[in-house]
Structures are given as C-alpha cells and as structure tokens.
Amino acid sequence: MATSTHPYAKELEIATLAVKRASILTKKLSDSIVTLQQSGTLTKDDKSPVTVGDFASQAIVNHAIKLNFPNDEIVGEEDSQDLQDSPLTSQILDLINQVQQETSEYDDKIGKLSNLKEITTSIDFGDSQGGSTGRFWALDPIDGTKGFLRGDQFAVCLALIENGKVVLGVIGCPNLPQIIHSNDKHEGIVGGLYSAVKGVGSYYSALFTKGFTPLDQQQKISMKSTSNPSELKVVEGVEKGHSSHSTQAQIKQILGITTPAINLDSQVKYCVLASGQSDIYLRLPVSDTYREKIWDHAAGNILIYESGGQVGDIEGNPLNFGTGRTLQSKGVIAGNKQVFDSVIKAVQQVL
C-alpha cells in the first residue's frame, strides 16, 4: 500500500502530532528528574513528576483524538479521579500551557487545552472498556514509570485497534538513542519516533523535529532474519518485578545465546527490536495472576508485525487486543520470524 494514500493517513498525522507534543512535555519532566537526582534533591518516593506527566500527556493525546474523531473511544491508563484535590494541578496546567505555546502550529490540527475542567474531561475520555468489535484507541501516556523515575527509558504509546486487531501504532521515545549496541554503548540522535500502519510498514524518524513527516520521508525499518545463536541479541526489561529474569536466562541458555541482553524499560524494547537492533523480546510472567494491560503492548505489537516480526504469548498464540482493558494471555514473546518458533519451543521446555 502506498505510504501517503493509506486509509489511516489522517489518524497517523493526528496521532503523531499528539505524541510529539506529549513527548516534549514528558521529556522536560524527565530532564528535571535527572537534574534533581544529580543535585540529590529528589527523594526516592517522590512520584510527583510521573503523576504530572501521566495526566498532562493523557489530556493532550485524548483531546487531539476527540477533536478529530469524536465517535472514537479511548482506552487510556489514567483516570482523573486521582487528580481531584491534587496539589499538582497548577503544575499540570502550566506545563501544558508551555508545551502548547512551543508547538502552537499544531493547534489547527490537535487543538489546545485551556483550563483544568477541559483537562479532567479529556483525561476521562480514556474510560473505554475496549472490546472485540468496532474501533478504539489505546493510550499509555507514560509507559515505563520505573524507567521514567530513574531518568532512563520511557515512552508515549498510542495505538488504534479495530475489531480486536491493532491497525496503527505511534511510539514516542524521548530518551532513546538511535543506535543501541549494548547496555552501556549507544550512539546517534536521542529521541526516536516509531510508527507503524497495517499493510504499509514500520518507520523511524527523529522525535524532536517539528510537525508531521510523511512516511515516505521517514526511515523504513525491518527486523533482521538471523537465527544463528552467536548473532542473536535479546532485549528484556530492567525491572525484575515485571518479568522473570531467571526464566529468561534459562531460555537464552537453551537457545545458545551468549551475547548479554539489552535491558530497557517500557515499549522502547519493541522499537529496538523492530529496527533490527535486537532479535528476541522476552517477557516471561513473574506471577500467575498478572494480566498485561492492552496499552502496554498494542502500539509495539503492530510495530513488530509491520517490520517483519512475530509476537505471541507463552504458548506462541497472537495477543488478542479485543478482550477488554487487559489481555487474557500470559507473557509476551516477540522475535524475528526465523527464530520465533524455536523461542516458543524453548519457553515451553522451561515452563
């Protein structure tokens, strides 16, 4: 399908502008965390920067969607209930005002928020329950809370879902360098925008540039096709509470992978995978009862498929985004098509 005439052209442009605006805002907060950490003035349990970012980012993105697609529902992570009586409201309003001014040329397309009432209304557009029919958006305004609070990786993740399948995904990665060699070696522009449209492909462009760049002027990305264990690279989370690093170590051993894994928070893992900088994403469950949220995987899911990869649960079955706000399956495994089946086999062997 042509890159400029695909059926989701308007959706992609609006999603991109909204994610870019939200990314500028969250990057400011992330930079301020780093500064506070360096000066030793951020206490460990102060979660206020992420709270401000969560609400502001969801308000901006939801507002953009509702303005352009008033009939679309949104499955958003945050709920304005937690904002009531919060001392952070004036900070949220100030930050939104500031970023709207800096990107005022987007107002024609994605509007602007003027007061607290509009902000809370917009956040609560995110209350959809999702489901297997019709179309809705899934939004994680800041994915990778733990990474964000460490000054590491996080992402603004937006996806469009139709009849349980993801058809469009846009991920803003404010702290992600273009090229990741290993946990302590990287290079290139910091801040990446990763987009995918069903039947069109997956694309990379720099995040902190102005406006919407048509896909044919972005860099098309694809997964590698290697299955040679000595060349395979695994990407996995940082937090041991989110995925089982010990089970993942066993799987890597069975597959004969010796290259150290790349550890990254949030859906930036899918971006690194889709751009061929790693081959396998392992997210083995730590608990029998935890079910992943759809906004934690929807945008990354289409990015992998459109770059030639495959995604499944621990059984190897595709993830079903039509089961409400949570997935019903356990774990997430993604890989290039050449290795996917052998990874699932290894997973089955270990579990």
Binding-site annotation: residue ranges for Mg(2+) = 77, 140, 142-143, 296
Residue 265 binds which of ligand A2P, Mg ion, none (CB < 5-8 A, kind-dependent):
ligand A2P
Give the H/E segment covering residue 247: helix 245-255
Residues in contact with 307: Cβ distance below 8 Å, sequence separation at least 6, in sequence order: 196, 201, 202, 221, 222, 223, 273, 274, 275, 276
Q: Kindly state the smallest distance separating residue 71's Cβ from Mg ion, in Å.
A: 25
Q: Kindly state the smallest distance separating residue 57's Cβ from Mg ion, in Å.
A: 9
Residue 74 Ramachandran class (φ > 0 left, ψ -120 to 50 alpha, else beta)? beta
Q: Kindly state the smallest distance separating residue 200's Cβ from ligand A2P, in Å.
A: 26
Write out the catalytic residue numbers. 54, 145
Q: Which residue number, 197 or 311, has a Cβ lying nearer to ligand A2P? A: 311
Q: Which amino acid, one-letter code, is at 330?
A: K
Cβ contact 88:53 at 8 Å: no
Q: Which residue number, 146 or 220, has a Cβ lying nearer to ligand A2P? A: 146
Please give the annotated binding residues, written as ranges.
Answer: 77, 140, 142-143, 296
CA–CA separation, 33 and 44 (whole Å): 11
CA–CA separation, 328 and 338 (whole Å): 26
Q: Which residue number, 78 or 306, has a Cβ lying nearer to Mg ion? A: 78
Q: Kindly state the smallest distance separating residue 193's Cβ from ligand A2P, in Å.
A: 19
Residue closest to ligand A2P when measured from CB atoms: 237
Q: Which residue number, 205 or 266, has a Cβ lying nearer to ligand A2P? A: 266
Structure tokens at 308: 């030639």
Q: Which residue number, 113 or 298, has a Cβ lying nearer to ligand A2P? A: 298
Matching residue, tokens 């971006």: 271
Q: Which amino acid, one-letter code, is at 147?
A: G
Residue 165 binds which of ligand A2P, Mg ion, none (CB < 5-8 A, kind-dependent):
none
Cβ contact 168:139 at 8 Å: no
Residue 239 binds which of ligand A2P, Mg ion, none (CB < 5-8 A, kind-dependent):
ligand A2P
Cβ contact 155:172 at 8 Å: yes
Task: Provide the binding-site residues for ligand A2P, judged by CB under 6 A.
Answer: 143-145, 147, 237, 239, 241-242, 265-266, 286-287, 290, 296
Q: How many alpha carbons lie under 13 Å from residue 151 in its C-beta half-sphere?
A: 10
CA–CA separation, 276 and 284 (whole Å): 21
Buried b (16+ CB within 10 A) or exposed e, 96-121: beebbeebeebeebbbbbeebebbbb
| Residue 176 neighbours by CB distance under 10 Å | 27
Q: Kindly state the smallest distance separating residue 331's Cβ from ligand A2P, in Å.
A: 9
